[in-house]
Amino acid sequence: MPANTFGQLFRITTFGESHGTALGVTIDGCPAGLALDLEQIQNELNRRKPGQSKIVTQRKEPDEFEILSGFFEGKTTGTPIALLFRNKEQRSKDYSHIKDKYRPSHADFTWQEKFGHRDYRGGGRSSARETVARVAAGAIAKQLLALQNISVQAYVSQVGTLKLNTPYQDLDLSKTEDNPVRCPDPEMAAKMEQLIREVRKDGDTIGGITQCVIKGLPIGLGEPVFDKLHADLAKAMMSINAAKGFEYGSGFEGVLMRGSQHNDRFIQNEQGRIITKSNHSGGIQGGISNGMDVYFKVAFKAVATIMQDQQSVDKDGKEVTVSGKGRHDPCVLPRAVPIVEAMAALTIVDHLLRARGNKI
Amino acid sequence: MPANTFGQLFRITTFGESHGTALGVTIDGCPAGLALDLEQIQNELNRRKPGQSKIVTQRKEPDEFEILSGFFEGKTTGTPIALLFRNKEQRSKDYSHIKDKYRPSHADFTWQEKFGHRDYRGGGRSSARETVARVAAGAIAKQLLALQNISVQAYVSQVGTLKLNTPYQDLDLSKTEDNPVRCPDPEMAAKMEQLIREVRKDGDTIGGITQCVIKGLPIGLGEPVFDKLHADLAKAMMSINAAKGFEYGSGFEGVLMRGSQHNDRFIQNEQGRIITKSNHSGGIQGGISNGMDVYFKVAFKAVATIMQDQQSVDKDGKEVTVSGKGRHDPCVLPRAVPIVEAMAALTIVDHLLRARGNKI
Amino acid sequence: MPANTFGQLFRITTFGESHGTALGVTIDGCPAGLALDLEQIQNELNRRKPGQSKIVTQRKEPDEFEILSGFFEGKTTGTPIALLFRNKEQRSKDYSHIKDKYRPSHADFTWQEKFGHRDYRGGGRSSARETVARVAAGAIAKQLLALQNISVQAYVSQVGTLKLNTPYQDLDLSKTEDNPVRCPDPEMAAKMEQLIREVRKDGDTIGGITQCVIKGLPIGLGEPVFDKLHADLAKAMMSINAAKGFEYGSGFEGVLMRGSQHNDRFIQNEQGRIITKSNHSGGIQGGISNGMDVYFKVAFKAVATIMQDQQSVDKDGKEVTVSGKGRHDPCVLPRAVPIVEAMAALTIVDHLLRARGNKI
Amino acid sequence: MPANTFGQLFRITTFGESHGTALGVTIDGCPAGLALDLEQIQNELNRRKPGQSKIVTQRKEPDEFEILSGFFEGKTTGTPIALLFRNKEQRSKDYSHIKDKYRPSHADFTWQEKFGHRDYRGGGRSSARETVARVAAGAIAKQLLALQNISVQAYVSQVGTLKLNTPYQDLDLSKTEDNPVRCPDPEMAAKMEQLIREVRKDGDTIGGITQCVIKGLPIGLGEPVFDKLHADLAKAMMSINAAKGFEYGSGFEGVLMRGSQHNDRFIQNEQGRIITKSNHSGGIQGGISNGMDVYFKVAFKAVATIMQDQQSVDKDGKEVTVSGKGRHDPCVLPRAVPIVEAMAALTIVDHLLRARGNKI
């Protein structure tokens, strides 16, 4: 039942609880000789960290990391790279008020039933804090991808009913980081920010959608049958807390199209490369990248922790009131962006290494 | 890069090409002592097989299987169960006309680039015929689930724009097999059938959505972090040919809801069991089943093979015309139903075995 | 608990019982484009098969194989290669006399206790017949190795007390196949053959040792820490029926040496390559191949089936007599040679593919 | 190529270099609810640590560990248990003198060739210091085994030519820890100690053999075919630095016996349990434990680091002298005992969890 490992050849194993001593990640399979940019890792962590803007949780977690191994004289050595994140405030707080209560739509109940014994402090290992390890590992994956001119860019395309209909090709993705919502359209971003503020004022939370685009992929990534590139991306995305749906290329809307409309015509471009004219396939055919952009969407539900009283039960089934407390995200989307990118980068790097064995 | 294996403890490995000698599957990890019902395996295969109705491909593949191992005196022995499917018509046909052409939205191009050498006959291993192995293995998984009163039921809920809006709870799922579309609502089924006939007459194809419901799950299946139950279901579903999207519980629509609406309140039912009043969570919280129904949707695009002339290129990039030929499905949905069920059953059985190690 | 798979990137999964319908193997991860020599596969199978000489079992198993997939126009396609071996005589025989008896030093008792239900005919899956699948897969591995000028050669170096003390460097290994014992020293081979005949006449069996040499390995195969090249070779060898011990390089005798004697001095040879002057390391340092010959020994015990009456118990613990019956090997060594080679080749090919990801 | 993970269901991943920031281990798959005894972990680490006696290296490594996760209110939670070991003296020392030199029989050369870039300080990750992570994880495995009355006991049975011929049954294994050699026979222990002192005085090193006995195993551990219990034990043992050979039960000497001598007769004991009268099988038949003691031997070569000048080459192939320096073990055997036990315990626990899925 070990389940804290992701990837086959570029393989990460994460550990740690939200309010335990530390979280961390071991990356096994990173090739030797990569000149690691530690600052870039911290930059990615800063994009994920709480307190970075007014519309995310105001908790203070510096999210500084320490590199413990696999790194020598500025380069990776081919041995496991371990990164450590100390929890700063774990000791002090009192969690006895939720110890035996099952918060609605949290993992309290299922963990208690599954394991019999759990760390209830701040959600334990089911806390979103766990993603700090993913983002750091993803930052290393991104550095490997950058060597091959592969980029992974995500942004928020929907918050509640506010939906950005512009296709990603017509957006200037370099503007994604210009606003706290991480929506590259400034006007829409302003509306989304306004909505999130309102929702927070109500003590409530709201969901949304993240879009992600991967450019520069070589042809041939992804394995036929079970480990199709989009199947592994789907698993990667759905493993993120609060994810409820995944679609790539034409996605759910694609079901409305007829084959004659949906099929992507092959043509030869001016450089003599074979490309497709349209890209309903989302850059993947038969589970294998075809050299076009890979793009997909991930739906996230509203955060379960709200600042309102809710009815629930305790472990004995007795009715109790759960009160909203603490500093939480009114909307997970802005901070989901670097996490989506990290999981996508990890998936792609793994398939890059796997593809090394296709031919004699 | 081995990628023809699915599952960790109940692990299937499939092999075979559409027009090669045979396809097959090895199931490793099936516990000993299961009284296998071979007829039920054939029944599931019959639900998947071509030629079963007027709205699916009229190819003739009997899809009979032979059991080669792991089965003795009517029961499984705990050793690998191998099932074999002979291809009957593989030798005769001439495929030289598509040998070097890249059919639009097929896997011809990506396979050629990835492997350098491929079996181009009838799609080779990227053919939907590969799912015969999944359905047979899934039939065995279903028999294990039945021992624990777990059922897996899928049906077609949308074809093109024709969408069944009734929630699954209000449908009589026992009617799913009453019509060739596999939609449990007879009226909608008739409309869908009509639409598929029209699309076929146009030499075209159309997409749709399959819904699946899993009932009777114990609490505690699924692993936190990467191997969340819905993440593994997402991968399982997205590994099916033509799948474009996956959502569970409230899904993409759930992003519109606020936390106060989306949260599922815990209550104690009359039997003293803790359940949730609503089920936006789709039976999974924190990646772990909570005892409620698990339900999800899978979007399938229109089949790429159409009976119309299409422009494309050959392996040298030269423009060519690809003509529609052969007997193909105008809509993949009716035959997708048993495949979705099979992949769901395989995922659940694997997690059932994995859950045996949670506690001391 | 799936346990019928060997290898990580060149991964074989075997199935089948001695007296079931068929045995087989699926090879997943063989690169595309290998021009397979099917005859060479059959040749290896012939080296393993019963009845090939007077000193092995006289059972008649033709051991012909059928290739089912992954092979097209003379070359591998990168998809799983499935090989099938039909059992010819499985139906007829009566095994009820041993159904409930536990034969001494066989796996009857442990299988019954582990699985509760087992195929008792001819040992079921614990029969040495299972190795037919290994030898066929190993033959394909050998063909991949041959492309890189890597050879794997095993021979019998000891039968009972008859021990060949000549180091492998001083033997002409091309003579191994010249005699039925597979010992490259003709005189010793004659003595061994004589001993095996005597043992058989006594209705008894005898053990021995196989030596194996791998030449032409590139530097850098094997992974530090757990997957050391010799650790994976050890597991491969010890997974063969009747294996009792493994040693490589200086082996057990090496414990007598002092570090100053055992250390292999590095020198530069005439071609400018760094080599070691002695090779007590057995071609592996720190778990990684250093370019020198890899050599190791495997000890096999006497076959458990003897042609004598033995006392034992049945499943209820009642005392019974087990009578020797059937046609069995008086000494497993001659037929172990191709099996040892196959498992070694599979291990090396797997590490060759794994090594593709070491550096950026 | 990730290779720093051991085990399938009780899975450890280790990281860290001898002179890097820290070493550590993540244990994934430890069931929830185990009341961990942290002191016992430290005790096992103390048995492994340098400086514990006059006949081992006099380096000072306190080997204190910090538990980072997976542990709450005194019990395991079913999430990964991470243990951290800080390196204390890593910064100070100068290793430039060996940076480009290849020490005889060390892993310098093979690592450099394999990875291109390596941490040369103190052997980096190929240092025996890596076993600190194994011993700590093994200590947790032992606690799980103790709940089922399974014990794992190793001892030194040979140093150089000094060989203890008494079978383990006739030894009082509780005396193993009474002397620094870890040989339970006091007289032999004294001789061994004397020999090791002499060897050290010569600036040399010496090899030896460790014997290990596992008592209390249930029937049914180990999987047929590839993951035989002794095959996994062999891999576990051969993955320890300096290991050259492995044998179990009758081992290499068993090849001298005839089948009629070697076969273990089944009998029913007074309690009605089926046991074997002799135990040449070493407690394993067909790869599966039969309830008798499992026992095996591991051969270790002399440590490569000697306090003498040796000729070698540098990375350019130029002849250089390597001088012995630092504090090293004259004989690895005394400290190998807890490592052998740890790897055995990890192997057994993994198979205990795997066996949970054998039957319906």
pLDDT tens per residue, range B134-162: 999 999 999 999 999 999 999 999 999 99
Minimal Cα–Cα distance from D96 to chain B, Å?
40
Q: How confident is the model at residue C61 (pLDDT cuts 50, 70, 90)?
A: confident
3-state secondary structure of A89: coil
Q: How confident is the model at residue A57 (pLDDT cuts 50, 70, 90)?
A: confident
C-beta of residue C17 within 8 angstroms of C-beta of residue B72:
yes
Among partner residues D113, D228, D276, which is closest to C219 by beta-carbon distance? D113
pLDDT above 90 for B123: no
For the record, the structure tokens of A220 come out as 């041939």
In a domain, D230, yes or no: yes
- Predicted pLDDT of residue A105: 95
Chains in contact with D, where contact means 3 or more Cβ–Cβ distances below 8 Å, are: A, B, C
C-beta of residue A284 within 8 angstroms of C-beta of residue A229:
yes
In a domain, A360, yes or no: no
| Interchain proximity C79–B124, CB inside 8 Å | yes
Chains in contact with A, where contact means 3 or more Cβ–Cβ distances below 8 Å, are: B, C, D
pLDDT digits (tens, 9 = 90+) for B231-254: 999 999 999 999 999 999 999 999
Interface test with B, best of A229, A238, A278 (most B CBs within 10 A): A238
Q: Which residue of B has its CA nearest to D78?
A: B358
Interface test with D, best of A10, A26, A71 (most D CBs within 10 A): A26
Count of pairs with CB atoms under 8 A, one residue in A, one in B: 362
Q: Please compute the mean of the pLDDT values over residues D203-231 and round it to a whole number.
A: 97
pLDDT above 70 for D92: no
Candidates D88, D127, D93, D133; CA nearest to D111 is: D127
Residue whose pair of structure tokens reads 């593989």 in the numeric block = B90
pLDDT above 60 for A86: yes
pLDDT above 70 for B271: yes
Distance (Å, whole) CA C301 – CA C278: 31
Q: How confident is the model at residue D97 (pLDDT cuts 50, 70, 90)?
A: confident
Distance (Å, whole) CA C100 – CA B217: 38
Using a CB-CB cut-off of 8 Å, the residues of chain A touching B265 are 104, 310-312
Count of pairs with CB atoms under 8 A, one residue in B, one in D: 39
- Judged by average pLDDT, the poorest of B38-42, C292-296, D287-291, D328-332 is D328-332
pLDDT digits (tens, 9 = 90+) for B162-205: 999 999 999 999 999 999 999 999 999 999 999 999 999 999 99
Chains in contact with B, where contact means 3 or more Cβ–Cβ distances below 8 Å, are: A, C, D
C-beta of residue C129 within 8 angstroms of C-beta of residue B84:
no
For the record, the structure tokens of A349 come out as 């790097």
User: What's the number of CA atoms in the CB half-sphere (13 Å) around residue B55?
Assistant: 24
Candidates C216, C75, C212; CA nearest to C147 is: C216
Using a CB-CB cut-off of 8 Å, the residues of chain B touching C9 are 1-2
Distance (Å, whole) CA A237 – CA C277: 54
- Predicted pLDDT of residue A91: 54
CATH number where D239 lies: 3.60.150.10
Please, what is the average pLDDT of chain C? 95
pLDDT digits (tens, 9 = 90+) for D218-274: 999 999 999 999 999 999 999 999 999 999 999 999 999 999 999 999 999 999 999
Minimal Cα–Cα distance from C246 to chain B, Å?
27
What is the DSSP-derived secondary structure letter of residue D315? Answer: T
In a domain, D318, yes or no: yes
- Predicted pLDDT of residue C91: 55
Residue A224: domain span: 5-355
In angstroms, how far is the first alpha carbon of chain D from the final one?
35
Candidates B168, B295, B354, B264; CA nearest to A244 is: B295
Length of chain B: 360
Using a CB-CB cut-off of 8 Å, the residues of chain D touching B224 are 79
What is the domain count for chain D? 1
Using a CB-CB cut-off of 8 Å, the residues of chain A touching C9 are 357
Q: Please compute the mean of the pLDDT values over residues C51-75 and round it to a whole number.
A: 89
What is the DSSP-derived secondary structure letter of residue B358? Answer: S
C-beta of residue D238 within 8 angstroms of C-beta of residue D300:
no
ipTM of the complex, rounded to two decimals: 0.97
C-beta of residue A270 within 8 angstroms of C-beta of residue B262:
no
DSSP notation for B232-277: HHHHHHHTSTTEEEEEETTGGGGGGSBHHHH---EEE-TTS-EEES
Distance (Å, whole) CA A232 – CA A238: 10
| Backbone dihedral angles phi then psi of residue A28, each to the nearest 5 degrees | -110, 130
Q: Please compute the mean of the pLDDT values over residues A136-164 and round it to a whole number.
A: 98
Minimal Cα–Cα distance from C184 to chain B, Å?
38
Distance (Å, whole) CA B133 – CA B147: 22
Interface test with C, best of D12, D25, D110 (most C CBs within 10 A): D110
For the record, the structure tokens of D203 come out as 């600036």
Question: Percent of chain D beyond pLDDT 90?
Answer: 88
Q: What is the dihedral of CA A337, A341, A343, A348, to 10 degrees?
A: 160
List the beta strands (DSSP E) in chain B. 5-6, 11-16, 22-28, 66-67, 71-72, 75-76, 81-86, 151-159, 162-163, 208-215, 243-248, 266-268, 274-276, 284-285, 288-289, 294-300, 310-313, 319-322
Contacts of D212 (CB under 8 A, 6+ apart): D152, D153, D154, D155, D295, D296, D297, D298, D340, D341, D344
In a domain, C360, yes or no: no
Distance (Å, whole) CA B89 – CA B95: 13
Using a CB-CB cut-off of 8 Å, the residues of chain D touching A70 are 15, 17
Among partner residues D33, D353, D358, which is closest to B32 by beta-carbon distance? D358
Distance (Å, whole) CA B345 – CA B146: 10
What is the DSSP-derived secondary structure letter of residue D130? Answer: G
Angle between helix axes A131-146 and A38-48 (nearest 10 degrees) is: 130
Q: How confident is the model at residue A163 (pLDDT cuts 50, 70, 90)?
A: very high
CB atoms within 10 A of CB D109: 25
User: What's the number of CA atoms in the CB half-sphere (13 Å) around residue C9?
Assistant: 24
* Ramachandran area for residue C272 (φ above 0: left; ψ -120 to 50: alpha; else beta): left
Using a CB-CB cut-off of 8 Å, the residues of chain D touching C226 are 3-6, 235, 239
- Predicted pLDDT of residue A255: 97
Candidates A129, A183, A252; CA nearest to B251 is: A252
| Interchain proximity C15–B81, CB inside 8 Å | yes
pLDDT above 80 for A60: no
- Predicted pLDDT of residue C63: 87
Please, what is the average pLDDT of chain B? 95
Please, what is the average pLDDT of chain D? 95
Q: Which residue of A has its CA nearest to C358?
A: A31
pLDDT above 90 for D64: yes
CB atoms within 10 A of CB B190: 13
Q: Which residue of D has its CA nearest to A11?
A: D2
Q: Please compute the mean of the pLDDT values over residues C107-129 and round it to a whole number.
A: 93
Among partner residues D66, D116, D119, which is closest to A72 by beta-carbon distance? D119
Among partner residues C208, C231, C290, which is closest to D109 by beta-carbon distance? C290
Count of pairs with CB atoms under 8 A, one residue in A, one in C: 39
Among partner residues C205, C252, C285, which is closest to D259 by beta-carbon distance? C205
- Predicted pLDDT of residue D355: 96
- Predicted pLDDT of residue D170: 98
In a domain, B360, yes or no: no
C-beta of residue C320 within 8 angstroms of C-beta of residue D266:
no
- Predicted pLDDT of residue D328: 84
CB atoms within 10 A of CB A272: 8
Exposed/middle/buried for residue B319 (C-beta within 10 Å: 0-12, 13-18, 19+): exposed
Contacts of B212 (CB under 8 A, 6+ apart): B152, B153, B154, B295, B296, B297, B298, B340, B341, B344
3-state secondary structure of D295: strand
| Interchain proximity D252–C111, CB inside 8 Å | no
Using a CB-CB cut-off of 8 Å, the residues of chain B touching D34 are 360
Please, what is the average pLDDT of chain A? 95
pLDDT above 60 for C225: yes
Residue B27 CA: distances (Å) to CA of B7, B83, B84, C2: 10, 8, 12, 9
- Predicted pLDDT of residue A325: 76
Minimal Cα–Cα distance from D39 to chain C, Å?
26
Q: Please compute the mean of the pLDDT values over residues D56-81 and round it to a whole number.
A: 92
Distance (Å, whole) CA C102 – CA B117: 51
Contacts of C160 (CB under 8 A, 6+ apart): C195, C199, C206, C207, C208, D255, D256, D258
Distance (Å, whole) CA A356 – CA A218: 12
Residue whose pair of structure tokens reads 């002799």 in the numeric block = D278
List the beta strands (DSSP E) in C179-301. 208-215, 243-248, 266-268, 274-276, 284-285, 288-289, 294-300
Q: How confident is the model at residue D91 (pLDDT cuts 50, 70, 90)?
A: low
Please tell me which residue, C191 or C53, carries the higher pLDDT value: C191
| Interchain proximity D219–C113, CB inside 8 Å | yes
pLDDT digits (tens, 9 = 90+) for C318-356: 999 998 877 789 999 999 999 999 999 999 999 999 999
Candidates C255, A11, C226; CA nearest to D131 is: C226
pLDDT above 80 for A191: yes
Minimal Cα–Cα distance from D22 to chain B, Å?
25
| Backbone dihedral angles phi then psi of residue A4, each to the nearest 5 degrees | -110, 20
pLDDT above 70 for D90: no
C-beta of residue A357 within 8 angstroms of C-beta of residue C356:
yes
Q: How confident is the model at residue D211 (pLDDT cuts 50, 70, 90)?
A: very high
Residue D73 CA: distances (Å) to CA of A113, A118, B334: 18, 9, 53
Distance (Å, whole) CA A286 – CA C217: 36
